[in-house]
């Protein structure tokens, strides 16, 4: 059996394990007791770990970037997804005063009721009649109340 076949065999074995076996394998691979989580999540995390061991894991640069993101999330500093990062075709929905408003991310901005807008704040103003931070209005950003 070559290395690739051995990996496939290990992944198949994980898929067939019961909860106790998954927890035992977790202890073996992570050197600590398994966290309380659904067996399907344990299975996915273990499959990831086996592949990580086989393929060598993430680069130092990727691990550093993830560590930075974890710190920012923990400290509440991840507050919004930038508008230009939203994939074309993403649909944003907001219920406001009993009416549902849908916005579609398109190539040149945002489509709302057949018109193209360059930013979400303009759409929020059309909907509410007052100035809003568009990403906050559509739930992409937490507003600071400090």
pTM over 0.75: no
pLDDT by residue (tens digit) across 105-142? 998 899 999 999 999 999 999 999 999 999 889 888 75
Q: Give the residue carrying structure tokens 């770990």.
A: 49
Q: Which domain holds residue 107?
A: 83-137
Mark whether 101 and 43 lie in a shared domain. Answer: no
**60 and 92 fall within a common domain:** no
- Asked whether residue 46 is assigned to any structural domain, the reply reads yes
Residue 10 scores a pLDDT above 90 = yes
As for how many domains the chain has, the answer is 2
> What tens digit of pLDDT does each residue of 33-65 get?
999 999 999 999 999 999 999 988 888 999 898
- What stretches of 1-146 show up as alpha helix (H) in DSSP? 3-15, 19-30, 39-55, 60-74, 120-128, 134-137
- Pair (48, 88) in one structural domain: no
Quick one: 8 and 61 in the same domain? yes
Are both 90 and 49 inside the same structural domain?
no
Residue where a domain terminates, one of 30, 55, 74: 74
40 in any annotated domain: yes
If asked whether residues 51 and 89 sit together in one domain, one would say no
Mean pLDDT (whole number) for 66-92: 74
Q: For residues 79 and 141, is the Cβ–Cβ distance under 8 A?
A: yes
Does one domain contain both 70 and 95?
A: no
User: Does residue 142 lie within any of the structural domains?
Assistant: no
In this prediction, residue 77 carries a pLDDT of 62
35 with 18, same domain: the answer is yes
Q: H or E segment at 91? A: strand 91-96
């Amino acid at each position: 059996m070559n290395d690739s076949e051995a990996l496939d065999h290990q992944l198949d074995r994980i898929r067939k394990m019961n909860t106790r076996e998954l927890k035992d394998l977790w202890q073996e691979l992570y050197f600590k007791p398994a966290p309380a989580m659904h067996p399907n999540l344990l299975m996915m995390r273990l499959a990831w770990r086996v592949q990580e061991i086989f393929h060598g894991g993430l680069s130092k640069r990727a691990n550093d970037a993830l560590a930075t993101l974890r710190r920012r999330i923990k400290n509440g500093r991840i507050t919004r997804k930038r508008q230009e990062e939203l994939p074309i075709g993403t649909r944003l929905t907001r219920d406001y005063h009993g009416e549902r408003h849908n916005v579609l991310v398109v190539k040149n901005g945002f489509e709302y009721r057949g018109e193209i807008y360059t930013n979400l704040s303009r759409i929020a103003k059309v909907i509410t009649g007052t100035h809003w931070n568009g990403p906050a209005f559509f739930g992409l950003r937490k507003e600071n109340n400090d």
